[in-house]
Structure 1
Amino acid sequence: MKIAFSPCPNDTFVFHALVHGLLPDTPKFDVTYADIDITNKLSVSSGEDSLDILKISYAALPYIHPEYALLPCGGALGRGCGPLVLTRDSLAPAELTGRRVAVPSDRSTAYLLFRLWAAGHVPGGLGEIVVMPFHEIMPAVRDGLIDAGLVIHEARFTYQNYGLNLLADMGEWWEQDTGLPIPLGAIIARRTLNLDAIAAWIRASVEYAWANPEVSRAYVLEHAQEMDPAVADQHINLYVNEFTANLGDAGYEAITSLLDRAAVEGLVPKLDLSYLR
């Protein structure tokens, strides 16, 4: 079975037991490690070469191929874990007018949150949007190659190391505005597979990781791009939570709210989430 997820600590922590054969009655997995922008693009294809299970952004759900369904577990939602807008110089939100901003994907939750926020805080409108791998964004802001960067993942713990300033926290804005958790990464699987079984495997992998955190440590750090172990632990503790085991009503409400708002703004096509469940 073919699966794709990012090399970020939360994903490797969640899927470690599943892809290493530590759970009973599960198949062997062929793993592709890829940045979220790549998996978002892979989710629109179909056919024999398409992947069976993918980690994508919730913002990419309106575009995925109809052969995929949304799974109720394994993804990333939470509170206090939203994307950040960073700048080299201290700027006010209105000063982003006409500026070049780097984003990790133009089909990411981070991007949708940023655009929804900017609609109310950058009256003159944004300038050029530049898509680049998330680990390249902070150096590019630091070096003046772009004016601002939208960052995700462990960047909230490390941006000070680059001498950058926090202009706005998209998650903080979203939570204050809606009272809902922040929907970041989704897990989708091909409809022709046994979706209930796959969801059960993923939940079992999450439970195994929580019960045996040290077992996956070497694997997590191997793929964490020379990340400090303490930062990796912070990353896992923030992004692997109750919603990883089960989206629940609050999780689905958060996803629906995000995609409905984005559709109203013309950022994504309108989507009936019940079609994907």
Structure 2
Amino acid sequence: MHKMVTVGALPAVSINMADGAEATITLYGAHLTSWKTADGRERLFMSSKSPLDGSAAIRGGVPVIFPQFSTRGTGQRHGVARLSHWRLAESGGEGPTAWAEFELTEADVPAQLAKGWPHAFTLRLRFTLHAESIEMSFNVRNTGEQDFDFACALHTYYALEAFEHAALEGLESGDIHFKEKLDNVYRAPAEVTLLHTGAGALRLQQQGFTEFVVWNPGAEGAAALSDMADEEYRQFVCVEPAKVDKKALAAGAEWTGLHTISLIP
């Protein structure tokens, strides 16, 4: 089941399992800020300098990117979803799972942001928690009378004990052994494995997305970010299921992407 909590100054929803697994999602951005497996270990990175008052995007966890990835377009960088206040639509618990679903429509987007992307839509993002995994189902529906183009991503920051000792396996282009800053886009297989995250590796699975974006700013990049401590780049890597280039969604149509993260003991 769920309970209402706060993350910094932000209202949030916590879902948890009897075995100790827990996830926390802020209404601001429908942003997953914490995911703990049953062993109590935090699996996501959150910057110690991230604002947690709604004044700016949250740095860490899982920012929701929609309808533009980065600066690949003329609109708001990384879109409006992570800067808007979502609503808790549904929640529940069914046997070995607990879940919460959040909703955002064009009416929820701040007016100054809506001007740059004036389309009717409904986003629904469901987080389903299991003892050793979490599933994110991201649904985009065009509720308007005109087609629109959109891109999206679930910009996941994974906690690492040491960036330079971690690796990503399973990409068609070969495995990545992290050594320096990177910002690369790869065609997304159904599954990749993130090694050296601490206690156990993580299996990352996706359906519906077309790319994995792998990002870390490196030492120089982290020093230039006001919302990240200089040495924190060594504590995470982003591996993001994404649709980085905008594609058309017809009026009345919908798209769903699924992202599942599972612990490999």
TM-score for the superposition, normalised by structure 2: 0.30
Structure having the larger proportion of residues in strand: 2
Q: Relative contact order, CA 8 A, sep 6+: which one is greater?
A: 1
More helix by share: 1
